[in-house]
Structure 1
């Protein structure tokens, strides 16, 4: 449970920094996402999930 809270906290920090330091960049990125077809957005989401699992697996393998 502690690792889940740690991961969630890190996500909130990174997301918060993005919105605090570059809000106009976030606006442009959201607009670019709106222009992508739904299937492409699904593929990007799936690739993010797979990448996250690979990173977690790799961190687990090296002892984190």
Structure 2
């Protein structure tokens, strides 16, 4: 079980690193825009990301 968790974590880090590697200016601009969001907007984006990931996991697994 731990092996699968670490594999998933590794893949997440690989995907997270693709955008700053390939398009650092776009990545920086995106994060500058996000820093101007209100707390509620950031929480909503986090919740949406969490629910999308959980749904995708359920559908795939």
Which residue in the other structure is 1:17 paired with?
18
RMSD of the alignment, in Å? 0.9
Q: How far 1:5 sits from its partner (Å)?
A: 1.3
Q: TM-score, normalised by structure 2?
A: 0.89
Is structure 2 residue 9 aligned with structure 1 residue 8? Answer: yes
Consecutive aligned runs of 4 or more in structure 1 exceeding 2 Å deviation: none
Is structure 2 residue 53 aligned with structure 1 residue 52? Answer: yes
Structure 1: runs of 5 or more not aligned: none
Q: How far 1:3 sits from its partner (Å)?
A: 1.6
Q: How far 1:52 sits from its partner (Å)?
A: 0.6
Q: TM-score, normalised by structure 1?
A: 0.85
